[in-house]
């Protein structure tokens, strides 16, 4: 929450944040109050909710969730995501063999959508969040604006990540209607859904204000 203040006689724009003014805002009722320097958790003077300057343990929590998501990314790709059984026999498909199957059948758009949504996007999100967390940990002051934009993109993609689970469900429904084959979701689906959910929570735990904490110096412009 930064605010721009113009000081008379000073043409440089000064950025004032609640933190730089030793203030903290309550997440429950919005009351802005002085930041207490106590070891105990500070409580809101008006509504008694716990107030904190930044998301508590943001970096540790983001890492824990990212590492879990990265581990689950392996079974999500190795284990079958669909199990097809028909008179001709049964077949297990992982995400990659599924993509290959659609591609070979000439369903190029579907193959591309599944490849982007279930292989490319999850790995790019994991890498981007890891990069942002490392940069904050190293107290980097490099390109804060671009890093904030990257975070916004990662956070925004989150709500579309379930698209792939949706595509799988839709395929299952369509195939069930059109053929005698019976398709059920494989164990990879659970791992994949976990990757999506864990990455989504990881991006919620990451506090983008931490990016600016390392560059915020009074009297300095960032753009």
Q: Which residues bind Zn ion (CB under 5 A)?
A: 26, 28-29, 31, 44, 46-47, 49
Which residue lies nearer to Zn ion by CB, 1 or 134?
A: 1
Least distance from Zn ion to the Cβ atom of residue 44, Å: 3
The burial of 129, by beta-carbon neighbours within 10 Å (0-12 exposed, 13-18 middle, 19 or more buried), is given as buried
Contact of 209 with 136, CB cutoff 8 Å: no
Which residue lies nearer to Zn ion by CB, 22 or 139?
A: 22
CB atoms within 10 A of CB 51: 22
Instruction: At 181, give phi and psi (nearest 5°).
Output: -70, 145
Distances (CA, A) of 27 to 7, 50, 53, 137, 201: 29, 8, 10, 24, 18
Which residue lies nearer to Zn ion by CB, 44 or 114?
A: 44
Contact of 174 with 84, CB cutoff 8 Å: no
Least distance from Zn ion to the Cβ atom of residue 217, Å: 30
Least distance from Zn ion to the Cβ atom of residue 54, Å: 17
Which residue lies nearer to Zn ion by CB, 31 or 172?
A: 31
Instruction: At 81, give phi and psi (nearest 5°).
Output: -100, -25
In whole angstroms, what is the distance from residue 203 CA to residue 193 CA? Answer: 16
Which residue lies nearer to Zn ion by CB, 50 or 134?
A: 50
DSSP notation for 47-92? T--B--SS-TTHHHHHHHHHHHHHHHHHHHHHS-SEEEEETTEEEE
Which residue lies nearer to Zn ion by CB, 35 or 67?
A: 35
Which residue lies nearer to Zn ion by CB, 26 or 129?
A: 26
Least distance from Zn ion to the Cβ atom of residue 42, Å: 11
Cα 28 off chain centre by: 23
């Amino acid at each position: 929450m930064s605010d721009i203040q113009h000081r008379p006689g000073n043409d440089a724009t000064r950025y004032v944040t609640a933190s730089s003014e030793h203030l903290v805002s309550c997440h429950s009722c919005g009351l802005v109050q002085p930041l207490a320097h106590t070891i105990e958790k500070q409580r809101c003077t008006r509504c008694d909710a716990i107030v904190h300057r930044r998301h508590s343990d943001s970096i540790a929590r983001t890492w824990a969730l990212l590492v879990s998501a990265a581990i689950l990314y392996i079974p999500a790709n190795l284990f079958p995501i669909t199990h097809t059984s028909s008179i001709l026999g049964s077949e297990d498909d992982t995400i990659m063999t599924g993509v290959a199957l659609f591609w070979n059948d000439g369903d190029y758009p579907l193959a591309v959508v599944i490849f982007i949504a279930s292989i490319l996007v999850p790995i790019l999100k994991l890498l981007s969040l890891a990069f942002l967390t490392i940069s904050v940990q190293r107290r980097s002051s490099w390109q804060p604006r671009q890093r904030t934009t990257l975070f916004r993109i990662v956070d925004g993609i989150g709500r579309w990540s379930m698209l792939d689970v949706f595509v799988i469900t839709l395929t299952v429904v369509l195939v069930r209607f059109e053929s005698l084959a019976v398709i059920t979701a494989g164990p990879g689906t659970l791992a994949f859904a976990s990757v999506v959910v864990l990455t989504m929570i990881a991006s919620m735990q990451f506090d983008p204000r931490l990016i600016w904490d390392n560059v915020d110096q009074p009297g300095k412009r960032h753009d």
